[in-house]
Structure 1
């Protein structure tokens, strides 16, 4: 048993005499006959790099899922704004329906724009600068597009080139007179 204690004491003395240079990854020993002790200071940076690599791969995977028609794993404020904006654009005729035709329903477009305005009002002072700019910019663009489309619909009605939806079976269509006002195909 005393032999193990002596080995422990020699090891302790060798280690207590080591001088660690923070700029190097090895410890210099005071006794030149004692082998150098290598201290692995780089493990933290290796672990951090690996963690960042995994996070980037996970983010790319999430974005690919969203691009392939799936939903992103994490839904946030930007996705909420995008949801209302997409619906408004669809009913402003900017996004064609499944038949490839532009569908215009000013009342439903206005409803989605108004819902974004409610989000703007209720989140005032609680958004990051980036989120606030996104919301303000989106609302401004949608409002300008609404005015342009409303003028175009008015002009098409005056010219007689407006076509009311007659097929309530078309995916995404709203039955005219169903409480949301006239639904139009341009």
Structure 2
């Protein structure tokens, strides 16, 4: 049975969306092509009608995850404190499959020797967004690096500890201190 081009495009997009969710949730290495395709009701062999390799899918899925996150952040965060609150929230921690891909994928891609230009772009965009929200001074770029690194690190750590109180403490403390830093910068 022949499918229309529209069907193929929709299937292609479904694979990217599910891969983006699973890669963020479980990691690239832990997400096999066969289980991914089975989740979608497709065969493993059908994967190669859409992608040359898993590496190609990783890049496309990461791009999709970044695009979704950018849309979500544009809606949810109109200020730096709002962005910090969202990023370091228990809801964001609890749903890695729809959240920031950096906490799941960066270490794994680096360990695999596969840094991504999409990751570069995402990090640069976040740094620029944070820096733009800070008052112009000679250290705003450094402050943005510190703030975003602390956010990603706190979220990553909060997801990796087994003690719920410790997980909450990591988010709450980092969130509190970064918001104080952001507000103090604006007031200065």
Q: TM-score range by the shorter chain?
A: under 0.3
| TM-score where L is the length of structure 2 | 0.25
| TM-score where L is the length of structure 1 | 0.25
Flag the structure with higher helix content: 2
Q: Pick 1 or 2: higher relative contact order, CA cutoff 8 A, min separation 6.
A: 2
Flag the structure with higher strand content: 1
Q: Which protein is bigger by CA-based radius of gyration?
A: 1
